[in-house]
Structure 1
Amino acid sequence: MTDWLTPEEWRAMALSLRVSFWATLCSLPLGLLVAHALARWNFPGKQILNGIVHLPLILPPVVTGYLLLLTFGRRGWVGQYLDQWFGIVFAFRWTGAALAAAVMAFPLMVRAIRLAIEAVDPKLEQASATLGASRPWVFATVTLPLILPGIIAGAILAFAKAMGEFGATITFVSNIPGQTQTLPSAIYAFLQVPGGEPQAARLVMVAIAIAMTALLLSEWVSRIVARRISGR
């Protein structure tokens, strides 16, 4: 593939894989917690939390990127303190691209995990609790193994979504070759210059191949885990 793609195209693809990996890995613990809260807990503001989680699916991606810029930019109400106190900068960095991708992919991850949790019979969890098991232990030994296929499916879908994220990313971190230029941003850049269609077409094929691989892998891994859990 390195011979088929130019160095610039290869850098864009490698950066997309890096961004998607870290976006998925870092958001997975929070996604699991939020999904469990929405599926099992009753608390004031539950519907508000559900709306906030799914908001990136409804808002234009550019709006999400602008909100990220206002929040995590160098002068943002959170970003300025991260920069001053910890030296952490998101705006116009690849880490910012990972943050934008995580935000946009988060609803898909949460939804997949939530559906898996809701499919678990609460009586199984209650039975373990009546035997003296604490809630964390019940979750770790009963709920978690049963929802593992949903977690894997949600993570892979989030990874695929992060690979295709464009609007929020380009708004938040711009389109800097070698630094923040992901696969979708590179396709957009090539389409803006005369003669860039062949390069854009190559990257489109790469994007389609990665997306299809992720979807097929999600189904395959989920089935294997489900069979092992059921003992078939």
Structure 2
Amino acid sequence: MSTAGRSGPRAAPERPTARGAAPSPRGERLPSWLLVPALIAVLLLVLPFVALLVRLDWATVPAAVTSPAALQALGLSLVTATIATALCALLGIPLAVVIARSPAGLAAVLRTVTTLPLVLPPLVGGIALLALLGRNGLLGATLAIAGIQIPFTTTAVVIAQAFVALPFLVISIEGALRAIGTEHEHVAAGLGAGRFTVFRRVTLPLAAPGLVAGTVLCFARALGEFGATALFAGNSAGVTRTMPLAIYTAFNGAGVEEDTAIALSLMLILVAVAALVLVRGWRPGAVR
């Protein structure tokens, strides 16, 4: 028998690649016509932040971020965003479970309602909240008779932040719940566990990555909320002026110096980056 007959299978010929292509993470090569618009997209996202860093007078940063106005806005933002995130968790976790475990038709309706604040301009959210809770609003008129005023208070800030941030929490948790399915819950129920025990000991631990990711994104979104807060809560220093409103006030020539506004902007950017890093670390199968 010839040695040619004993040889192993021949290696598959290499796939031809386009000239000027770059290797992708999967070992394939990307065509150059994809790389050019991708580079432009990256520059579009990065250059504004680079310009912000270049424009900032770094010598004034310590004084800017420690000024009374900046610390007041930062403290109010952190407190209200934390309360809004807790409120979103209290309401959003049950809503996410209901959506994930409901029939397809009902789940689609609930999912649409939940994601509506994501696609609406924030100013529309502020107008809607005023229509509901304003002095002459649907519920606000009754509250006004009882002597309860919500608009233009710190409570209004929390409500506005929760309104725009809740979808981030619900979507993250619902996606995690749909990914894990119901098999483990059925097994636990078959072993005699009650519904609350199954929820506490099985459902929540399995959905923990989505819960953490949603909570972090929810907090970051609440911290950066501007439009709904401006209309529904106003811009009163020490009461409703959060970091985004302080930045807006600075560039309209009152209350805060421009260097402080840029420093506050950098703080918000750092919070957003930290949120994305935490989400990436907790995402199942994430590359760390």
The interval holding the TM-score normalised by the smaller chain is 0.7 to 0.9
Larger Rg: 2
Matching of residue 57 in structure 1 with residue 108 in structure 2:
no
Matched residue SS, 2:151: coil
Q: Give the Å deviation of 1:192.
A: 0.9
* 1:190 counterpart (233, 250, 258): 250
Matching of residue 95 in structure 1 with residue 155 in structure 2:
yes
1:47-86 matches, within 5 Å, as 47-85=108-146
Matching of residue 110 in structure 1 with residue 170 in structure 2:
yes
Residues matched between the structures, number: 223
Matching of residue 215 in structure 1 with residue 282 in structure 2:
no
1:98-177 matches, within 5 Å, as 98-177=158-237
Q: Give the Å deviation of 1:98.
A: 0.8
Residue range with higher mean Cα deviation, 50-59 or 75-84: 75-84
Residue range with higher mean Cα deviation, 9-18 or 197-206: 197-206
Q: Give the Å deviation of 1:213.
A: 2.3
Matched residue SS, 2:207: helix
Give the conservation status (yes or no) of the 8 Å contact 2:169–2:218. yes
Work out the CA distance in 1 between the residues paired with 2:234 and 2:228: 9
Q: Which amino acid in 2 is paired with 1:214?
A: A
Give the conservation status (yes or no) of the 8 Å contact 1:17–1:163. yes
Residue range with higher mean Cα deviation, 118-127 or 107-116: 118-127
Name the structure 1 match of 2:27. Answer: none
Matched residue SS, 1:77: coil
CA gap 1:27/1:131 in 2 versus in 1, 3 angstroms: same
- Structure 1 residue runs of 5 or longer lacking an equivalent are 228-232
Matched residue SS, 1:139: helix
**Once the two structures are aligned, what percentage of the paired residues are identical?**
38
Name the structure 1 match of 2:15. Answer: none
User: Greater helix percent: which structure?
Assistant: 1
Q: Give the Å deviation of 1:196.
A: 3.9
- What is the root-mean-square deviation in Å for CA atoms of aligned residues? 2.3
Name the structure 2 match of 1:180. Answer: 240
Work out the CA distance in 2 between the residues paired with 1:20 and 1:3: 24
Give the conservation status (yes or no) of the 8 Å contact 2:88–2:165. no
Q: Which amino acid in 1 is paired with 2:166?
A: F
Summarize deviations over 1:74-104 as a string: whole Å, max 9, x none.
322222333444x543200111011001010
Which protein, 1 or 2, shows the higher relative CO under an 8 Å CA cutoff with sep ≥ 6?
1
CA gap 1:31/1:41 in 2 versus in 1, 3 angstroms: same
Runs of 4+ in 1 over 6 A off after TM superposition: none
